[in-house]
Homo-oligomer: A and B are copies of this chain.
Amino acid sequence: MTSSDTHKSRAKDWFSNLQLDICKEFEALEEAVTPPLYHGEPGKFEFTPWERKKGPNGEDQGGGRMGMLRGRLFEKAGVHFSCVYGKFSEAFQAQIPGADQSGGAFWASGISLIVHPRNPKVPSVHMNTRMLVTSQSWFGGGADLTPVLDFQRDENHPLAQQFHGAMKDACEKHDPAYFPKFKQWCDEYFYLPHREEPRGIGGIFYDRHNSGNWEDDFAFTQDVGRAFLDIYPSLVRQTYEHSWSDAERDEQLVRRGRYVEFNLLYDRGTTFGLKTGGNVNSILSSMPPLVKWP
């Protein structure tokens, strides 16, 4: 394996702490909202640790910590940390760079989150960053915003502009080529061909990212996380006091159906995970709480 134990340990600690920082921030937003738009108690995260099943010789293969919040501002939010390792199945091995050369051995740690706000004026969001090690080592992930109301689903809307701006700043600290490349990759990935529709307004997406400088690549992935932690709560605070109509709630519920379609038809993590015996609860925690196909 090309990445040292120190690298792995630093990356793992980062993802684990980022999960807790994001959850704390989301809970503060839950506290901040008030009636008449929001009812009931502020939501709190429930954390559920889980373990991968033991290896063939009883060896530990890692696990994770699911964080789920069902609240008044965030109708459903999942923020998950994981650190898993062991050997890929032979079928999977062929699909992962460097896994043949490592005899299938791998190590992976990351954070993934998805937020479905109750208020249709508050955009949904997805963020996921990870470090992978086989005989090679790389980072991957990104963050993308899904406003659910048509009038917000536009590159020129202030919410979209701020989100793209934050991701651009994170990229440009490292390489001016990153942002245009990773933004385009995001637009291509989060697209529903059968609807001829983008999932949201985009963001950034990168994978198999190894510039040759681990410190800089790690710092980049950290900057994406920090950018998310700063910008998304800001967008939430800008929108959560706007009231909404029944028609807007309906538009949100229908739009969430597109999210389901994307995840079950196209998302590689979801379909691969489900078809190869992954943790169903964790994988499908991204599904929206209430959806309409009228």
Measured CB to CB, the residues of A under 8 A from B are 70, 76, 193-195, 253, 257, 260-261, 264-265, 271, 274-275, 277, 280, 284, 287-294
A274's partner among B194, B277, B292 (CB-CB below 8 A) is B194
Task: Give the chain B neighbours of A193 by CB distance below 8 A.
Answer: 275
A-B contact pairs, 26 of them (CB 8 A): A70-B294, A76-B293, A76-B294, A193-B275, A194-B274, A194-B275, A194-B280, A195-B280, A253-B290, A257-B287, A260-B260, A260-B264, A260-B291, A261-B264, A264-B265, A265-B271, A284-B293, A287-B293, A288-B293, A289-B294, A290-B290, A290-B291, A290-B292, A291-B291, A291-B292, A291-B293
In whole Å, how far is A118's beta carbon from the nearest beta carbon of chain B? 14
Task: Give the chain B neighbours of A292 by CB distance below 8 A.
Answer: 289-291
Interchain CA distance A293-B76 in the complex, whole Å: 10
Interchain CA distance A236-B290 in the complex, whole Å: 26
Interchain CA distance A193-B280 in the complex, whole Å: 11
> A70, A274, A293 — which one has the most chain B CB atoms within 10 A of its CB?
A293
In whole Å, how far is A231's beta carbon from the nearest beta carbon of chain B? 27
